[in-house]
Amino acid sequence: MMWRFLLLYSLCIVFQPTNGYVEDYYCGENNCYDLKRAFRAVASKTHPDKFQDPEEKKIAEERFRILSTAYDILRDDEAREDYDYMLDHPEQFYQNVYRAWRRRMAPHVDVRIVLAATISLISLVQYYNGWMKYQEAIKYFAVVPKYRLQAVELAKQEGLLITDKKKDILWIQLVFLPYWIVKYISWYLRWVWKFWILKEEYGEEEKMYIIRKFMGLSHGQFENLEENIKADYLKRELWNKDKYNEWKADRDAEMKVKMAQSGRYKSYRRYMKANGPGRMYFDDS
């Protein structure tokens, strides 16, 4: 397949039209510079509105269109650059056709404006979505008072009560991205130097980081846990991979027993699987 494409491309390069003019995009066989000089002299005399006869008016309209095209091409800096390239390289017919086609079909709106508007829209949706999730979580906590504490605890585990989610907004992420990259690189180099090369002992912060990574929790979810729970993690030395795996196996077995014994918990998990964490309440019916 590739050799066919290369053969076709080679034929297009070798057998190009000799005149090199791009008729449908520029001024055809006429020179746009000559037409522009003539435009001011004859525009008022050859304007289509000065002719009443349909045939003469049609001819005048076509002539005026050609003159206007030349004027518009040479007035635009980028279009004039492409046209000058065609005059200097008439043998590159297909390349000139592509450059002219690209210029005509390219959007006339600044891409930077489109990109900024798109990012702003995404950021607005992200902010509104986060705000709505928090409001719905608070609303449904009050549906059945006797389950309120249980609902709050589960919401903390799901990360729904994290109010400071401004860093999740795309605009803020893009603004702080260079800072975060530099910070991460410096943190990673420090980690390699202290704990991989010098073999130092982990501090409390590093232990917490390792435990959070083992659990697959985000920074916000982990920070939202109760302090006594974090202290229990440190007491159990869960930054140690073997001890964490042992603790997780015991916890999974305990959860299976709880799910087998609690019909309400099973109902909750089925509801969460079907509807997600955005709407959280306990039906007391």
Range of weakest confidence among 80-94, 154-168, 206-220: 154-168
Q: What is the pLDDT of residue 236?
A: 94
User: Residue 99: inside a domain, yes or no?
Assistant: yes
Spatial distance between the Cα atoms of 23 and 108, rounded to a whole number of angstroms? 22
Instruction: Specify the residue for token string 């800072």.
Output: 179
Confidence category of residue 274, pLDDT binned at 50, 70, 90: low
Residue 141 lies in a domain: no
User: Is residue 101 included in any domain, yes or no?
Assistant: yes
> At 91, is the pLDDT very low, low, confident or very high (cuts 50, 70, 90)?
confident
* Total domain count, the chain: 1
Determine what percent of the chain is predicted with pLDDT higher than 90: 26
**Residue 98 lies inside a defined structural domain of this protein:** yes
Q: Would 62 be classed as within a structural domain?
A: yes
Q: Is residue 226 a part of any domain in this protein?
A: no
**Distance, CA of 264 to CA of 168 (rounded, Å):** 34
How does residue 37 score in pLDDT terms, banded at 50, 70 and 90?
confident
Q: Which residue has the higher pLDDT, 65 or 11?
A: 65
Q: Which residue has the higher pLDDT, 223 or 15?
A: 223
Please check the confidence at residue 3 and state whether its pLDDT lies above 70.
no
Does residue 175 lie within any of the structural domains? Answer: no
Tokens 């959007």 correspond to 107
pLDDT single digits (tens) 180-218: 999 999 999 999 999 999 999 999 999 999 999 999 988
Average pLDDT on 48-62 reads 81
What domain range is 43 assigned to? 14-105
Provide the pLDDT confidence category of residue 225 given band limits of 50, 70 and 90. Answer: confident
Is residue 74 in a domain?
yes
CATH number at residue 61: 1.10.287.110
* Residue 143 pLDDT grade (very low, low, confident, very high; cuts 50, 70, 90): low
Specify the pLDDT at position 221: 83
Residue type, 79: A
Write down the pLDDT at residue 204: 93
Across the chain, what does the average pLDDT equal?
77
Q: How far is CA 26 from CA 37, 40, 97, 106, 259, in A?
A: 16, 19, 10, 16, 75
